[in-house]
Structure 1
Amino acid sequence: MDASAAVALLMSPQGRIDPYPTYERLRAHGPVVEAAPAFFVVTGYAEADAILRDPRFGVLDDDLRDNLWPGWRESLAVASISRSMLRTNPPDHTRMRRLAAGAFTPRRIAALGEVVTAQADELVDGMLDRGRDGAPVDFMTDFAYPLPVGVICALLGVPAADRPLFRRWAADLTGILEPELTAADLAVADRGAGELRGYLTELVGARRRAPADDLTTALVQAHDADGDRLTGDELLANLMVLLVAGFETTTNLLGNGLVVLLGQPRAAAALRERPDLAPAYVTELLRYDSPVQLTTRLSSGPASCAGAHLPAGSWTLLLLGAANRDPRRFPQPDRFDPWRAQSHPLSFGAGPHYCLGAGLARLEAQVAFPRLLRRLPGLALAGTPRHRSRLTLRGYDALPVTVGPAAADRGTPAGTHPGTP
Structure 2
Amino acid sequence: MNDEPNAGIRPDGWASVPRMEPAQAPRVWANGPGAARLRPDTPFVGERSPSRTVAPSPLDPGAGRDPHRVHRVLREQFPLTYDPLLRAWVLSRYADVATALTDSRFTHGHRPGDPPCAQTHVAVDEAELRSAAARTAFVLARRIAGRRQADLVADFCHWLPAGTVAAAVGVPYRDMMRLVRGRAASALAGQCTGQIAVREKALANFLANVLVDREHALALLDAPAGAIARAWAESLRRDPPVQIAVRRTGAEVRVSGGTIPAGEPVALLIGAASRDPERFRDPDRYDPLREDADQLTYGRGSCPAVLLAGLEAEYALRALFHAMPRLRLAEGFRPEHAGVITRFPRNLLVRPGG
Please tell me the TM-score bracket, short chain as reference.
Answer: 0.7 to 0.9
The answer to whether the aligner puts 1:302 opposite 2:252 as a matched pair is: yes
Q: How far apart, CA to CA, are the structure 2 residues paired with 1:103 and 1:395?
A: 31
Q: How far apart, CA to CA, are the structure 2 residues paired with 1:388 and 1:355?
A: 27
Deviations 1:241-262 (A, max 9, x none): 753x1x2122112211222122
Matches within 5 A, 1:74-153: 94=116, 97-103=117-123, 108-129=125-146, 131=147, 135-153=148-166
The offset of 1:349, in angstroms, is 4.9
Q: How far apart, CA to CA, are the structure 2 residues paired with 1:296 and 1:369?
A: 32
SS in 2 for 1:345: coil
* Structure 2: tracts of 5 or more residues without a match: 1-28, 31-35, 37-44, 47-53
Matches within 5 A, 1:286-301: 286-301=236-251
The offset of 1:286, in angstroms, is 0.8
The offset of 1:39, in angstroms, is 3.9
Cα 1:156/1:349, change in 2 over 3 Å: same
SS in 1 for 2:298: coil
Structure with greater helix percent:
1
Alignment-derived partner of residue 258 in structure 1:
207
The offset of 1:306, in angstroms, is 2.2
Deviations 1:363-398 (A, max 9, x none): 111222244245434322236578686322222333
* Structure 1: tracts of 5 or more residues without a match: 61-84, 170-195, 204-214, 220-237, 406-421
Contact 2:212 2:329 (8 Å CA) reproduced: no
The offset of 1:35, in angstroms, is 4.5
The offset of 1:329, in angstroms, is 1.5
SS in 2 for 1:15: coil
Residue 376 of structure 1 aligns with an amino acid whose one-letter code is M
SS in 1 for 2:145: helix
Structure with greater strand percent:
2
Deviations 1:247-301 (A, max 9, x none): 2122112211222122234532421332631111111111111111110111122
Q: How far apart, CA to CA, are the structure 2 residues paired with 1:401 and 1:372?
A: 11
Alignment-derived partner of residue 73 in structure 1:
none
Alignment-derived partner of residue 329 in structure 1:
279
Q: How far apart, CA to CA, are the structure 2 residues paired with 1:384 and 1:13?
A: 25
Q: How far apart, CA to CA, are the structure 1 residues paired with 2:198 and 2:68?
A: 19
Deviations 1:137-180 (A, max 9, x none): 1212221121111112334554312344467x4xxxxxxxxxxx
Residue 140 of structure 1 aligns with an amino acid whose one-letter code is V
Alignment-derived partner of residue 358 in structure 1:
306
Q: How far apart, CA to CA, are the structure 2 residues paired with 1:166 and 1:385?
A: 34
The offset of 1:48, in angstroms, is 0.9
Q: How far apart, CA to CA, are the structure 2 residues paired with 1:311 and 1:384?
A: 47
Q: How far apart, CA to CA, are the structure 2 residues paired with 1:242 and 1:318?
A: 23
Which range moved further: 280-289 or 378-387? 378-387
TM-score (norm 2): 0.73
The answer to whether the aligner puts 1:270 opposite 2:251 as a matched pair is: no
Q: How far apart, CA to CA, are the structure 2 residues paired with 1:258 and 1:22?
A: 26
TM-score (norm 1): 0.62
Cα 1:279/1:342, change in 2 over 3 Å: farther
Cα 1:386/1:258, change in 2 over 3 Å: closer
Cα 1:22/1:331, change in 2 over 3 Å: same
Residue 379 of structure 1 aligns with an amino acid whose one-letter code is L
Alignment-derived partner of residue 17 in structure 1:
65
Alignment-derived partner of residue 345 in structure 1:
295
Deviations 1:176-213 (A, max 9, x none): xxxxxxxxxxxxxxxxxxxx26xx4xx9xxxxxxxxxx
Residue 311 of structure 1 aligns with an amino acid whose one-letter code is P
Cα 1:350/1:298, change in 2 over 3 Å: farther
Contact 2:244 2:268 (8 Å CA) reproduced: yes
Q: How far apart, CA to CA, are the structure 2 residues paired with 1:110 and 1:124?
A: 21
Contact 1:38 1:314 (8 Å CA) reproduced: no
Q: How far apart, CA to CA, are the structure 1 residues paired with 2:83 and 2:188?
A: 46
The offset of 1:356, in angstroms, is 5.9
Alignment-derived partner of residue 235 in structure 2:
285
Cα 1:386/1:266, change in 2 over 3 Å: closer
Q: How far apart, CA to CA, are the structure 2 residues paired with 1:348 and 1:7?
A: 29
Q: How far apart, CA to CA, are the structure 2 residues paired with 1:400 and 1:303?
A: 46
Residue 280 of structure 1 aligns with an amino acid whose one-letter code is R
The offset of 1:59, in angstroms, is 1.3
Which range moved further: 153-162 or 114-123? 153-162
Which range moved further: 150-159 or 21-30? 150-159
Alignment-derived partner of residue 77 in structure 2:
29
Which range moved further: 36-45 or 119-128? 36-45
The answer to whether the aligner puts 1:376 opposite 2:324 as a matched pair is: yes
Residue 43 of structure 1 aligns with an amino acid whose one-letter code is S
The offset of 1:126, in angstroms, is 0.8
Residue 109 of structure 1 aligns with an amino acid whose one-letter code is E
Aligned length: 301
Residue 272 of structure 2 aligns with an amino acid whose one-letter code is A
Q: How far apart, CA to CA, are the structure 2 residues paired with 1:275 and 1:123?
A: 25
SS in 2 for 1:17: coil
Superposed CA RMSD = 3.4
Q: How far apart, CA to CA, are the structure 2 residues paired with 1:356 and 1:113?
A: 11
Which of these residues, 306, 317, 320, is aligned with residue 270 of structure 2? Answer: 320
The offset of 1:99, in angstroms, is 4.6
Q: How far apart, CA to CA, are the structure 1 residues paired with 2:155 and 2:284?
A: 30
